[in-house]
Amino acid sequence: MTKLKEKLLEKIESWRPRTTKLIKEQGDTKIGDITIAQTIGGMRGVKCLITDISYLDPIEGIRFRGYTIPEVLEKLPKPPGAETPYVEGFVYLLLTGDIPTENEANEIADEFKKRKEVPKYVFDVLNALPADSHPMAMFSSAILSMQKESEFVKSYHSGIGKMDYWNPTYEDSLNLLAKLPEIGAYIYRKKYRNNDIIPPDPNLDFGGNFAHMMGIDKPYDDLSRLYFILHSDHESGNVSAHTGHLVASALSDVYYAISAMINGLAGPLHGLANEMVLRWIQEVMGKMGGKTPNKEEMKKFVWDTLNSGQVIPGYGHAVLRKTDPRYEAQRDFCLKHLPDDPIFEYVSILYDVVPDILAEHGKAKNPWPNVDAQSGVIQWYYGIKEYDFYTVLFGIGRAIGVLCNIIWDRALGYPIERPKSLTTDMLEKIASGK
């Protein structure tokens, strides 16, 4: 057993009595009421999920295992000469709740290196798909094609006990995660760089190797690490995290669960919003003939979009009620590395005008920018102009959080999800007090 796995087992064994005690002794304690508006309205705010990996405060934003984004970026070990931390060390933090030492981060980096070879048939599957397939459909298919590799399925069929489910799930999770950068980069280079594939470099870390396989120079490796960490987890209720958890709750293995979570992420109200932001900005740029709009001109574009019944992509959030700290972390990166970029200027002007307009418009509960308002601009700057691809980057990051959650779901024996639905008739009867 590796040191990480030993430590994880120790953590799991000391955590289990807390869960058992809560169910046994406090199982009937109420934590909230549910209204008709919440039932019809996508369960907004209903407290019915549990995770210890991250928590999203509406004002403060995300904390990973109790740490804010600036704390994570400061405390985690970084590869030599790098600005941003090892993704591998971040995985260690999400799994164990502890900040790893340099050695511990390196050990998990070695684990990833051992597991990262992508089976040849995955490339055959990708090559067999229609050339105009969306990169998210390709990514999801590639992940699903590896389902037959599942260690969990083998162990389940051989009669493994419930308390041990987490162990083969951990194996599957690390096996899958280690392969995602190469699959993502392959999709990009196949689709947008004439199939000119760059083989992985066995000496590089998760983010560094991804940048290398994308064929993009420094500091894109720093950006990749930052991007994957920022997009990893946003507690459990968002569509991708919830889908991953839901599918895995049926004891479907992580290949099924992560393929499904990628499909949820591909929606324009969720992960695809980063693509929509760039599309929207490019449209405005086209109308402006390349010139940067002043604030009054930009206000008009924003109002035109709202008046045509569309949302302003990259703004608003189901939980957050202030500027997303993931937006701020990426903005800091832009201010350091691309302060004069014209698209970054657009993004900055939008930040100046959109919140007031959305407040005046009066619909969105949160007029502030979310993670997606800022992420496409950086990718564009480093040469990834095919915005169809942006959500694949989000998907690589999100897989980190969802997989860590699924390992813990299994460790704590969380059951299959099965909420209850009512009919409209029943809601009308409840409302009228009958």
The nearer residue to ligand AMX, 230 or 358, going by C-beta atoms, is 358
- Separation of alpha carbons 301 and 172, rounded Å: 47
The nearer residue to ligand AMX, 78 or 270, going by C-beta atoms, is 270
* Helical segments of 215-324, H only: 220-230, 239-249, 254-265, 273-287, 295-307
Residue in 172, 221, 222, 372 annotated catalytic:
372
Whether omega for the bond prior to residue 119 falls within 30 degrees of 0, making it cis, is no
The terminus-to-terminus CA distance of the chain in angstroms comes to 60
The nearer residue to ligand AMX, 69 or 109, going by C-beta atoms, is 69
Q: Is 326 in the site for ligand AMX (CB under 6 A)?
A: no
Helix axes 390-411, 3-26, angle to 10 degrees: 70
Q: Is 360 in the site for ligand AMX (CB under 6 A)?
A: no
Note if 372 is an active site residue.
Answer: yes
Q: Is 246 in the site for ligand AMX (CB under 6 A)?
A: no
Options 11-19, 175-183, 244-252, 316-324: segment touching ligand AMX (CB under 6 A): 316-324
Do 225 and 82 form a contact (C-beta atoms < 8 A)? yes
User: Binding ligand AMX by CB under 6 A: which of 61, 207, 313, 395?
Assistant: 313
User: Binding ligand AMX by CB under 6 A: which of 53, 312, 329, 377?
Assistant: 312
As a whole number of Å, the CA-based R_g of the chain is 22
Residue in 242, 317, 324, 409 annotated catalytic:
317
Inter-CA distances, 1 with 4, 6, 98, 193, Å: 8, 6, 19, 41
- Separation of alpha carbons 32 and 208, rounded Å: 45
Q: Is 325 in the site for ligand AMX (CB under 6 A)?
A: no
- Separation of alpha carbons 28 and 31, rounded Å: 9
Question: What count of other Cβ atoms lies within 10 Å of the Cβ of residue 70?
Answer: 12
Note if 317 is an active site residue.
Answer: yes
* Beta strand extents in 100-143 (DSSP E only): none
Residue in 205, 270, 324, 409 annotated catalytic:
270
The nearer residue to ligand AMX, 89 or 271, going by C-beta atoms, is 271
Instruction: Give the x/- contact pattern for ligand AMX in 34-63, rule: CB under 6 A.
Output: ----------x-------------------
Q: Is 315 in the site for ligand AMX (CB under 6 A)?
A: yes
Residue with tokens 């479907």: 252
Note if 212 is an active site residue.
Answer: no
User: Binding ligand AMX by CB under 6 A: which of 135, 208, 244, 271?
Assistant: 271
Name the residues that contact ligand AMX, by CB under 6 A: 44, 238, 269-271, 273, 306, 311-318, 358, 363-366, 370-372
Give the residue numbers marked as catalytic.
Answer: 270, 317, 372
